[in-house]
Chain A
Amino acid sequence: MSAATQQPKAPVGPEAARRTGSLVRSELLRFATRRFIQVLLGLAVLGWLGAIGIGLLSFDQPTPADYAVAEAEYERVIADEEEWREECAEQAEAAGQPTDAFCGPPLTVENFLQVEPFDLGATAEVGAMGFAAAAAVLAFLVGATWIGAEWSNRSIVALLFWVPNRLKVMGAKLGVLTVAAAVIGVAAQAAWLAMAGILDAAAGSGAELPDGFWSELLAAQGRAVLLTVLIALIGFGLANLTRNTGAALGVGFVYFAVLENALRIWDPMVERWLLTRNAVSLVLPGGSEVYDYDDIDATGNPATYLISNLHGGLVVAAFAAVIVGIGAWLFARRDLH
C-alpha cells in the first residue's frame, strides 16, 4: 500500500441533517446501479415492444373480401341463431329481464370477421388492467430483490457503520422503493396508452369514444399505480422478513397458489379479504362483487357483497403495512451479524 495519503487534519464530520438527505441520494444511486433491477426493467421494455408487435399483427382494417367471408358465415348460422333467440326471449320475458341482458346482443356480421380493427373505447380499460397486473408483478420482483440482495451480500449492515439509525436506513430504502414503484406504475400505464395510440393509429376502428371515457380510464390507471406501489412494498416486506429474495418469491407463490385457494374452499366469503380479490377490486372500475351462495334471497339470487375500490385499496394497504411494519420492527431490534 502506498503512503500517498495521510489522514486529513480534521474529520469530515457531516451534519446529521445533511446526512439524512445524502442517505436518500445514496439509496437512489444504489437502486439505479442494481443490475438485476436493470435486467428486470429491460425485460419489461422488451415485453412491451413484443406486445406492440403482436398487436400490430393482430389488428387490421377488414377488407371487402373479409366482409364477404363474414357475411357468408353469418348467413350460414343466422337461421339457427334466430330460432334460439326466440326461445331465449320467452325465457327472458318470464324472468322479467330485458332480452339483450338475458340472452346477449343479437349476432351481426362483424361478429364473424376474422380481421378486427383496434377498438380503443372497448379495450382501453382491459389493457390498463393487464398492464397494471404486469406492473404489479414487476414491482413485486423489484421490491423483493431491492432488499433481498442487501441481505444476501449484507451491504445493509455495512451501511449501518455510516448511519446507525436503523429505522432511518429502512425508511430511506422504503422511500426509494415507493418512488421507483410509482415510476414503474406510471411508466406501465403510459406504455399502455402509447401502445393503444400506436394500434389505434395503425388499425383503429374509428369508433367514437364513450362519454367519460378518459376520466374513467385515468382514474383506473391512477389506482393501478397505487396497486403497483403497494405490491412493491409487499415484495420488499416479505424479502425483508425472510432476508432472501428467493424465499420471498416462494412465500408469495405459496400464498397465491395454495393458501388463497385453501381459504376459498374453507369459506368462500373469505374472498372479501384475500389479497388477489382486493387487488383486482382496487383497480377495476366500480370494484367487484362477491356472491354468497349460502344466503339465497326469495327470488333465488345469492346475496352480493361489493368490494369497492376503497375497500380493495385499504385491504391491500393493510397487507403491505403489516408485512413491512413487522420487518422494520424486527430490523430495528435484531442483533445483526
Chain B
Amino acid sequence: MPAVEMVGVSKTYRRRGGQPFRALDDLHMTVESGGVHGLLGPNGSGKTTSIRVLLGLVRPDAGAGQMRLLDRPVPAELNGVIAEVGALVETPLFSPGLSGRMNLRLLAEAAGVSRARIEECLEFVDMRDRAGDRFKGYSLGMKQRLGIAAALLKSPRLLILDEPSNGLDPAGIKDVRELVRRLGHDGRTTVLVSSHLLGEVQQMCDSVTILARGRQVASGPVAAVLSRTGSGDVRVGVPDPAGAAAVLTAAGYSVSPAPDGQVLVHGSPAPGAISRVLAEHGHYVEELVRVTPDLESAFLAITGGQA
C-alpha cells in the first residue's frame, strides 16, 4: 500500500503584478510504505508545495481528487487521516514566548495526546533538559529538534519532514539523519523527507523522487536512480594523459579529460582491459578507479544541470 500517492497534481501561484508561477505541473509521485523516501529538487522545483498540497494547506488547481495519504483520499478524508500523519514543514511554527514543553502541550491537547508522550518525544530528540526554556531562546538546531518532537507526538505512521536539516550544525545533521533512518526502519513508520542536501538524501533514503519545475523527473530506489546517470566510468592516472587518451581512443574507447590531468574512460569499461591496452603501448597506469556515482551527479544529469 503506498503511503503517498499524487496523480496529475498541478498548482499555479498567481502573484499580484507578477507572472504566474507554475509550482506543480502534472506531478505524479508514489511513496511506498516503510523506509525513508527522499524528495529532491532545486529551489522552486515544487518540493514544499507538494507537501503543502498533501497536508491541505494549499489547494491544487488539478488533481485534488487523485491524492492519497495512507490509502485514504485527501483532502476529502484529511481530517480522518491526519491523526496518523506527523509533519514538519520548513521552519517549526511555535509561540516564541512559551516554553518548548508548553508549545508541545498546546498541540497535544488538541489531539488528546498524553503528557507522558510529550516527555517521551522530548527525550527522543534530546530536548528534555531545555524543554522548560522559552522557544525564542533556542538555537536553530534546538528549534528544529522541537519541531521533529512535535511531529512525532501523534506516533505517526507517516512522517513528513521538509528540509529537517536546515540550520543545523554537522552534529545536528548527523543526529537528524540517524533519527530519520531509525524511524524509517522501525517497521511501522514511513518517512518522506525533502532536502536540498544531496549527500544527506543519499545517506538517509531508501528511495527518492527527483523534482524539477514541478514535475517528477526520476523516481525509484536510490541505487536505481543513480544508475541512470550512465556513471561507472573509469578514471585513469598516467604520466602522459594525452598519449594514453590517444591510445585508448584508437582502441575504441570513449575518453575525455578528467581533473588533475587524468583520463576518464566512459561506458563502464573493464579496468583490466584498459590497463592491458595501455601497458602494451608503454603507458603504465599509476591509478585506476571506477567512479562511484553519487546523487548529485545523477541529479544534475537528470535535470539537465538546472540545480
In whole Å, how far is B101's beta carbon from the nearest beta carbon of chain A?
A: 11
Q: Which residue of chain B has its CB nearest to the CB of A35?
A: B97
Contact between B79 and A16, CB atoms less than 8 A apart: yes
Contact of A1 among B125, B151, B188 (CB under 8 A): B125
Q: Which residue of chain A has its CB nearest to the CB of B107?
A: A162
Contact of A155 among B59, B93, B120, B176 (CB under 8 A): B93
Contact between A11 and B186, CB atoms less than 8 A apart: no
Contact of B110 among A5, A13, A19, A154 (CB under 8 A): A19
Residue-by-residue, is A108-150 near B (CB-CB < 8 Å gives 1, otherwise 0)?
0000000000000000000000000000000000000000010
Q: Which residue of chain B has its CB nearest to the CB of A334?
A: B59
> Which chain B residues border A10 with CB–CB below 8 Å?
155
Given A14-B111, A33-B98, answer yes or no on A7-B186 (Cβ-Cβ < 8 Å).
Answer: yes
Contact between B93 and A19, CB atoms less than 8 A apart: no
Residue-by-residue, is A268-280 near B (CB-CB < 8 Å gives 1, otherwise 0)?
0000000000000
A164 to B76, alpha carbons, bound, how many Å? 11
> Which chain B residues border A26 with CB–CB below 8 Å?
106-107, 109-110
Q: Which of A8-63 contact B (CB under 8 A)?
A: 8-14, 16, 18-19, 22-23, 25-26, 29-30, 33-35
> Which chain B residues border A30 with CB–CB below 8 Å?
95, 106
> Is A191 interfacial (CB 8 A cutoff)?
no
Contact between B155 and A7, CB atoms less than 8 A apart: yes
> Which chain A residues border B183 with CB–CB below 8 Å?
7
Contact between A160 and B56, CB atoms less than 8 A apart: yes
Contact between B98 and A18, CB atoms less than 8 A apart: no
Residue-by-residue, is B140-179 near A (CB-CB < 8 Å gives 1, otherwise 0)?
0000010000111111110000000000000000011011
Contact between A335 and B58, CB atoms less than 8 A apart: yes
Q: How many residues of A contact B (CB 8 A)?
A: 43
> Is A159 interfacial (CB 8 A cutoff)?
yes
> Is A215 interfacial (CB 8 A cutoff)?
no
Contact of B57 among A3, A4, A160, A333 (CB under 8 A): A160
Given A11-B157, A18-B112, answer yes or no on A336-B57 (Cβ-Cβ < 8 Å).
Answer: yes
Contact between A335 and B59, CB atoms less than 8 A apart: yes
> Is A299 interfacial (CB 8 A cutoff)?
no
Contact between A1 and B107, CB atoms less than 8 A apart: no
> Is B94 interfacial (CB 8 A cutoff)?
yes
> Is A163 interfacial (CB 8 A cutoff)?
yes
Q: Which residue of chain A has its CB nearest to the CB of B126?
A: A1
Contact between A1 and B111, CB atoms less than 8 A apart: no
> Which chain A residues border B105 with CB–CB below 8 Å?
29
In whole Å, how far is B183's beta carbon from the nearest beta carbon of chain A?
A: 7
> Is A337 interfacial (CB 8 A cutoff)?
yes
Contact of A337 among B52, B56, B182 (CB under 8 A): B52
Contact between A19 and B87, CB atoms less than 8 A apart: no
Q: How many residues of B contact A (CB 8 A)?
A: 60
Residue-by-residue, is B65-84 near A (CB-CB < 8 Å gives 1, otherwise 0)?
00000000001001110111
Contact between A25 and B109, CB atoms less than 8 A apart: yes
Contact of A158 among B79, B93, B156 (CB under 8 A): B93
A130 to B52, alpha carbons, bound, how many Å? 48
> Is B113 interfacial (CB 8 A cutoff)?
yes
> Which chain B residues border A13 with CB–CB below 8 Å?
83-84
> Which chain A residues border B179 with CB–CB below 8 Å?
1
> Is B240 interfacial (CB 8 A cutoff)?
no
A16 to B92, alpha carbons, bound, how many Å? 25
> Is B102 interfacial (CB 8 A cutoff)?
yes
In whole Å, how far is A114's beta carbon from the nearest beta carbon of chain B?
A: 49
A2 to B153, alpha carbons, bound, how many Å? 16
Contact between A161 and B112, CB atoms less than 8 A apart: no
Q: Which residue of chain A has its CB nearest to the CB of B174?
A: A1
A6 to B120, alpha carbons, bound, how many Å? 9
> Which chain A residues border B103 with CB–CB below 8 Å?
155
Contact of B120 among A5, A18, A29, A154 (CB under 8 A): A5
Q: Which residue of chain A has its CB nearest to the CB of B112?
A: A14
In whole Å, how far is B232's beta carbon from the nearest beta carbon of chain A?
A: 37
Q: Which residue of chain B has its CB nearest to the CB of A30?
A: B106
A33 to B109, alpha carbons, bound, how many Å? 14
Residue-by-residue, is A77-113 near B (CB-CB < 8 Å gives 1, otherwise 0)?
0000000000000000000000000000000000000
> Is B283 interfacial (CB 8 A cutoff)?
no
> Is B123 interfacial (CB 8 A cutoff)?
yes
A163 to B81, alpha carbons, bound, how many Å? 10
Other contacts beyond A1-B176, A14-B83, A160-B57: 6, CB < 8 A: A9-B188, A12-B155, A158-B93, A161-B89, A162-B154, A337-B58
Task: Name A's B-contacting residues (CB within 8 A).
Answer: 1-14, 16, 18-19, 22-23, 25-26, 29-30, 33-35, 149, 153-155, 157-165, 333, 335-337
Selected A-B contacts with CB under 8 Å, 23 pairs: A2-B123, A2-B126, A3-B182, A9-B188, A11-B83, A13-B83, A13-B84, A16-B80, A19-B111, A22-B110, A25-B109, A26-B110, A35-B97, A149-B95, A153-B94, A157-B93, A158-B94, A160-B55, A160-B56, A161-B55, A161-B87, A161-B151, A335-B52
